[in-house]
Structure 1
Amino acid sequence: MKEDIKRKYECMVSIGQCGRAKKKILDEFEGGLKEHYARLSDYQAEILKTNPGNTVKMDVNTKVNGDIYFSSYYICFKGVKDGWINGCRKVICLDGCFLKNSGQLLSVIGRDANNHIFPLAWVVVSVENKENWKWFLDLLRDDIEMEGGLGLTLISGQHKGIIEVVKDVFPYAQHKQCTRHIYANFKKKICRLQFKNLFWAATNSTTEQQFQEKMEELKTISKVAYTHLMERDPISWSRAFFEIGRACDAFENGMSESFNSRIRVARRKPILTMLEEIRTFVMHRIFLMATKQKV
């Protein structure tokens, strides 16, 4: 843009001036933040009208003076949840990411029969906390028809209060912590190749005896490292404790990270534009995957 202006108008402008001009044009084309948030109710009504069975919920906060402020916005499409219920593994990954303008996007990503990502539901929240995670998962539980979560496996990182919420909403589900998050915190305290190898060996252990042997070996080297890992509840991050017959033995949250990366550009845009781009991406992906499988 800077070079185009120099060539066409023979004048120099800064990168900052180009950025402000581009933002002004985009605001005029897409609308400002206030306009987008004011139209969320219309967007909800349109989604429910065009495809009955979709779930769209908006939660707001009303102040003493009567002003209404956005709190959270949940979306789960009927075709997507029906596809998950009827044809996907009973495994979901939970994660969150920041938005460029304000707030955060929390998402639930499933796995199809071929272990490919299957976006299931997402919610825009003003802040990621225990209350918003519970609001999200309560709605999800009703949509996917898994009261109590019997037979369900959830994989998550170390998000704010999410472990307590999962146990409350899905008391009979198996919860797994993403080992990448555990190792990232572990590495901050103890950064040695020997510890790394023992950690991943314990993580990949297939029996409790094998797990105990690796942890005892780690304990002889460093009691601090041993205590740090045991406090993270090995039942949720080592294969040795995963229940038999579960649909997935994975212990990493790569599905959610892939989804967050794919919508990186959309996350920079105003909320309605972002939600539409996510909807379009999910629709195209499910269609292409279904077509590919038929072929």
Structure 2
Amino acid sequence: MSIATLELEGSYQEQYSQLWDYCNELNMRNPRTNVVVKSELEGGKSQFQRLYMCLAACKQGFLDGCRPLICLDGCHIKGIQPSQLLAVVTVDANNGMFPLAYAITKSECYDSWKWFLEILREDLKIENSHSYVFMMDKQKGLIDAVDQLFPNAEHRHCLKHLYANFNKDHKGLTLKLQMESIARATTLPWFYDEMKKVLNLHEPSHTWQSNRNPSQWARSHFRAEFKCDILLNNLSEAFNRSILNARGKPVLMMLEGVKMYIMLLMASRRESIEKWHDQLGPRVIKVLEENKRKGQWCISKHAGKNKFQVRQEHKREFVVNLNAHTCGCRSWDISGIPCQHACSAVSRFNGNPADYLDD
């Protein structure tokens, strides 16, 4: 072993030995931040096992201004002592990625996820998981931990990872696009129509998809109260990419790097919010403007009591209820953003569709 390697390994070991002092200092400097370190005695010495961290600003930001969506993923920590970084991110009011909590563990397994999520549950004071939706990939240890700790929550599986499993035995661009069409269908009749199409294309593919719980990957089966229709775990992947450089450094430098990234992210968003011309985020405005454009091609007829029957060009007709903020297509229901049919109905009395966005 070279001298440089020995020095580098010594640096890694030295930083682990200073980890407890770092966590105590962070707790004093940043009140309400929760840092938990787990260690075990090995050879008469305390050896690091796991670390959990949830910065106070992240926790408060989630509780005050984010949707009840919890995206879970893990990534490798590079270096002499390989380990895993487990992370929880969520989505803010501008449909942006918002870091919530993260942990360092020796491996990504059921025990590690269960330990991490137990502390997170206590941190967020989650007593009834029915009010939350969890987005994750198909890792068995993660799925089992979420099922045990949050049995009443809505569990979604990332469509990208689901397709990776599907593609092992069912290849072809046509089948891929059809699977995406099934996932994007927002109503049950639409969902079953798309399932019939895949049956005609390839019966084994239909069997594979029929054996998967549609509430975990198809919008037609998503509950409406979360106002979030995402199908992919891209938010977690975006966070993992953003801390890529920090993941190759010794533990204290890595933790500081992640903390610095979150600090700069929040500062830049504060600055961007001050430049907004509306109370709405630009990403939400972009979706709403597109729906307004499509709504110009719809024909809406007033049915009384703020209800409308809306015809989408020469296609289906949907009932829009402006009082209940619902549409027969369910797109408005599950996203919180007025769909093209709702925008058409609102335009009948020169209203502003932005007034009908979910809080």
**Structure 1 length as normaliser, TM-score?**
0.86
The 5 A counterparts of 1:154-165 are 154-165=134-145
Bigger drift between 271-280 and 180-189 goes to 180-189
1:82 and 2:60 aligned: yes
Identical aligned pairs, as a percentage? 34
- Kindly state the Cα deviation for residue 68 of structure 1 after the two structures are TM-superposed: 3.5
1:289 and 2:269 aligned: yes
The 5 A counterparts of 1:74-223 are 74-101=52-79, 102-223=82-203
Preserved CA contact (<8 Å) 2:54 2:102: yes
SS in 2 for 1:115: coil
1:257 and 2:237 aligned: yes
**Residues 25 and 134 of structure 1: is their aligned pair in 2 closer, same or farther, counting only changes over 3 Å?**
closer
Amino acid at match of 1:44: C
SS in 1 for 2:232: coil
Distance in 2 of aligned mates of 1:165 and 1:231? 22
- Kindly state the Cα deviation for residue 219 of structure 1 after the two structures are TM-superposed: 2.4
1:44 and 2:23 aligned: yes
- Kindly state the Cα deviation for residue 38 of structure 1 after the two structures are TM-superposed: 1.0
Gaps (5+ residues) in structure 1?
1-19
- Kindly state the Cα deviation for residue 125 of structure 1 after the two structures are TM-superposed: 0.4
Distance in 2 of aligned mates of 1:291 and 1:173? 35
Preserved CA contact (<8 Å) 1:128 1:160: no
Distance in 1 of aligned mates of 2:147 and 2:21? 35
Q: Show structure 1 runs of 4+ deviating over 4 A.
A: 23-26
Distance in 1 of aligned mates of 2:238 and 2:31? 30
- Kindly state the Cα deviation for residue 78 of structure 1 after the two structures are TM-superposed: 1.0
**Structure 2 length as normaliser, TM-score?**
0.72
- Kindly state the Cα deviation for residue 269 of structure 1 after the two structures are TM-superposed: 0.7
2:33 aligned to 54, 78, 87, which one? 54
- Kindly state the Cα deviation for residue 45 of structure 1 after the two structures are TM-superposed: 0.6
Amino acid at match of 1:32: S
- Kindly state the Cα deviation for residue 130 of structure 1 after the two structures are TM-superposed: 0.7
- Kindly state the Cα deviation for residue 24 of structure 1 after the two structures are TM-superposed: 5.9
- Kindly state the Cα deviation for residue 27 of structure 1 after the two structures are TM-superposed: 3.5
**Residues 25 and 165 of structure 1: is their aligned pair in 2 closer, same or farther, counting only changes over 3 Å?**
closer
- Kindly state the Cα deviation for residue 260 of structure 1 after the two structures are TM-superposed: 0.6
Amino acid at match of 1:91: L
Amino acid at match of 1:264: L
**Number of residues of Structure 1 aligned to a counterpart in Structure 2:** 272
Amino acid at match of 2:219: R
What residue number does 2:294 align with? none
- Kindly state the Cα deviation for residue 147 of structure 1 after the two structures are TM-superposed: 1.9
Distance in 1 of aligned mates of 2:259 and 2:20? 17
Gaps (5+ residues) in structure 2?
276-359
What residue number does 2:260 align with? 280
What residue number does 2:291 align with? none
Distance in 2 of aligned mates of 1:242 and 1:177? 12
1:237 and 2:201 aligned: no
Distance in 2 of aligned mates of 1:195 and 1:84? 38
2:247 aligned to 250, 261, 267, which one? 267
1:73 and 2:61 aligned: no
**Residues 251 and 26 of structure 1: is their aligned pair in 2 closer, same or farther, counting only changes over 3 Å?**
farther
Higher RCO structure (Cα 8 Å, ≥6 apart): 1
**Residues 71 and 160 of structure 1: is their aligned pair in 2 closer, same or farther, counting only changes over 3 Å?**
farther
Distance in 1 of aligned mates of 2:155 and 2:61? 23
- Kindly state the Cα deviation for residue 26 of structure 1 after the two structures are TM-superposed: 8.4
- Kindly state the Cα deviation for residue 230 of structure 1 after the two structures are TM-superposed: 2.6
Amino acid at match of 1:83: G
Distance in 1 of aligned mates of 2:119 and 2:20? 18
Preserved CA contact (<8 Å) 1:266 1:273: yes
**Residues 149 and 294 of structure 1: is their aligned pair in 2 closer, same or farther, counting only changes over 3 Å?**
farther
Amino acid at match of 1:235: S
Amino acid at match of 2:74: G
- Kindly state the Cα deviation for residue 204 of structure 1 after the two structures are TM-superposed: 0.5
SS in 1 for 2:167: helix
